[in-house]
Structure 1
Amino acid sequence: MAAMKPEIVLLVGASFWGLGWMPLQHFAGLGLVGMPLVLATYGLLSLLAIPLLWRQRRAWWPQRTALLAIGLFGGWATAGLVGALSEGDVVRAMLLFYLAPVWGLLGGWLVLGERLNALRVGALALAMLGIALTLGISHDTFRPLTSTDWLALSAGLAFAINNLATRAAEQVPLASKAVVAFVGSALLGGLFCLLQGTPLPAMDGVLWGQVALFGVFWLIAMSAAQYGFTHVEAGRAAVLVVVELVVAVLTAAWFGDRELGLREWCGGALVLAAALIAARPPAESPSVACEVRP
């Protein structure tokens, strides 16, 4: 992975996320949705994550606050988005969650001191327009926010904070950054299951095996994403991850769940154009550019 450009690795991770709707749809057909699915999947992954975090404790201890932020906000981003998609309107949930690039760009500027130039703002504007066209916006989109809407909005904000924390945690091993959010997701999923009174449904060995494979899928996606977030400026990364939306829409159309019209194709083209702009290396001297690489 180290031999690949971080932007490419991040795009691969985002593409994996865009494919996540397929196993989610499969599990929904089996009665495993929402927070019980979060608890089952990330609870299994935590069995791997906790021993790994313990073995690497000396490496991440100096930046334990940043690692805790990754676990908390990364865990909430996952749990909140899955809950919003399970319980609310999918289009509204995705629109609100994908305000995350706005938070990421502003956070990179305000918190990390990254440059907010016209090219980066333009790429973000293209991405936002592409999202609106791809998902579709109607008068109903702007109705007052419901509890599930707030869940999706907060998940997007948490996702942006997670990316900033990942970027700041330069001394934390990549493996620890990749798995700590799983522990956060499992804890938050379990908490919501208790608060909502929704226990895990009856699950046989086959279903647990499928959940485990789903966990491996997310482990690969999260590892790629965390590598990208570590090496790519937060403002650029916020635009690149929007490719997830294009992958989700295109694969849904490919498998017959929705049809693509001119609006969707135009929206996807704008998002891809924004990603290409954001993926361009910054116009800085070689000595400065190398400073962001470990």
Structure 2
Amino acid sequence: MKGSGWQTATAGAAAAERRTAVAALLCGALIWGLIWYPYRVLRDGGVDGIVATTASYALAFAIGWLCWRPRWQRAGASWTLLWLALAAATCNLGYVLATLDGEVMRVLLLFYLAPLWTVLFARLLLDERLDAGGALVIGLSLAGAAIMLWQPRLGLPLPRDLADWLGLLAGLAFALFNVLSRRARDLSSESKVLAAFAGVVATGLLLLLAGAGSWRLPREPALWALLALLGGVLLLANLIVQFGLARVAANRAIVIMLSELAVAAVAAWLLADEALAPREWLGGAIIVAASLFTARRAGTSPA
């Protein structure tokens, strides 16, 4: 009886941890689905998108450094960390700048072409063979993108503006970061997160020095408070998502994180009065289908 009770308690604790992990992923999806809005508030307050992104990630890095400095130091310098930093910088700066200038849902759906890029990068960097499932992911992703990006005047599927290009580039960089992260299994998740933050800060500063943005800082205390809050939220989002990913099967995690799209759609409609055209919804639905198929493949593949 005692053994049975102990097993029941252990199973209950494990179930509670899984529920907490799912809640963490949902919370992360909520944050990422809304993160664009504070940056728009800062932009409307006269703060350039590059400055806002650089400053918020600098604060997140500073807090993370205080918490994880020993692990970062043990990781040492490596080319992998450098490439992770560059991929993260392209992903995060591209995403923020795209959502500042473009339609949020359109940018996010183009960002979610990441499964397409993941299949290709996994083939190049992890030597994973392209099977029929991978080919289907590529086909679905390309079909969805072609529908979304189709320009009747040109008769071609092409990005219509800089926001589209940045959304595509951010998704590509996100896929590269994930594949590189899988390849660098010897590095702690904390080291990877710090490398990502450092990459955003360093790249943002280089862009500002090159004249790509304005150095103007916030003048109102409320905007400084918003920047500080953003830094804390970015660190929290990475922590809780890492917690969830470590405890939820990859196929289930992908499906849960897709709720970010629903959050962003409602937020863009309520906060920015944005809505997609029917053709964009159709293309987006096909792109989401590619992500869901990727999740199913992850669930059926051998460990």
**Scaled by the length of structure 2, what TM-score is found?**
0.71
The structural deviation recorded for 1:109 is 2.1
Match of 1:19 among 34, 37, 47: 34
Structure 2 CA distance for partners of 1:143 and 1:256, relative to 1, 3 Å: closer
Quote the Cα distance in structure 1 between the aligned partners of 2:46 and 2:175.
31
Q: Does the 8 Å contact 1:167/1:233 carry over to 2?
A: no
Equivalent position amino acid for 1:139 in 2: P
The structural deviation recorded for 1:200 is 2.9
Range moving further from structure 2, 241-250 or 185-194: 241-250
The structural deviation recorded for 1:149 is 6.4
Quote the Cα distance in structure 2 between the aligned partners of 1:92 and 1:276.
18
Quote the Cα distance in structure 2 between the aligned partners of 1:65 and 1:228.
28
Structure 2 CA distance for partners of 1:268 and 1:156, relative to 1, 3 Å: closer
Match of 1:54 among 45, 49, 69: 69
Quote the Cα distance in structure 1 between the aligned partners of 2:137 and 2:199.
32
Q: Residue 46 of structure 1 aligns to a residue in which SS? A: helix
Q: Does the 8 Å contact 1:164/1:234 carry over to 2?
A: no
Aligned: 1:31 with 2:46: yes
RMSD over aligned Cα atoms = 4.2
Structure 2 CA distance for partners of 1:274 and 1:227, relative to 1, 3 Å: farther
Q: Does the 8 Å contact 2:159/2:165 carry over to 1?
A: no
Aligned: 1:279 with 2:298: no
Superposed CA offset, 1:142-195 (max 9, x none): 568877766555433322221111112212222222232112111111221222
Aligned: 1:119 with 2:119: no
Corresponding position of 1:222: 238
Match of 2:190 among 175, 191, 195: 175
Corresponding position of 2:58: 43
Quote the Cα distance in structure 2 between the aligned partners of 1:157 and 1:186.
20
Unaligned runs of 5+ in 1: 290-294
Aligned: 1:200 with 2:195: no
Corresponding position of 1:138: 151
Match of 1:253 among 256, 269, 274: 269
Identity of aligned residues (%): 34
Q: Does the 8 Å contact 2:98/2:163 carry over to 1?
A: yes
Quote the Cα distance in structure 2 between the aligned partners of 1:14 and 1:127.
21
Structure 2 CA distance for partners of 1:149 and 1:274, relative to 1, 3 Å: closer
Quote the Cα distance in structure 1 between the aligned partners of 2:269 and 2:116.
27
Corresponding position of 2:172: 157
Corresponding position of 2:199: 184
Unaligned runs of 5+ in 2: 1-15
Q: Does the 8 Å contact 1:160/1:238 carry over to 2?
A: no
State how many pairs are aligned. Answer: 284
Quote the Cα distance in structure 2 between the aligned partners of 1:270 and 1:138.
18
- Larger radius of gyration between Structure 1 and Structure 2: 2
Quote the Cα distance in structure 2 between the aligned partners of 1:130 and 1:3.
33
Superposed CA offset, 1:117-163 (max 9, x none): 32343245435544565x56433685688777665554333222211
**Scaled by the length of structure 1, what TM-score is found?**
0.73
Structure 2 CA distance for partners of 1:149 and 1:257, relative to 1, 3 Å: closer
Corresponding position of 2:6: none
Q: Does the 8 Å contact 2:72/2:190 carry over to 1?
A: no
Equivalent position amino acid for 2:274 in 1: R
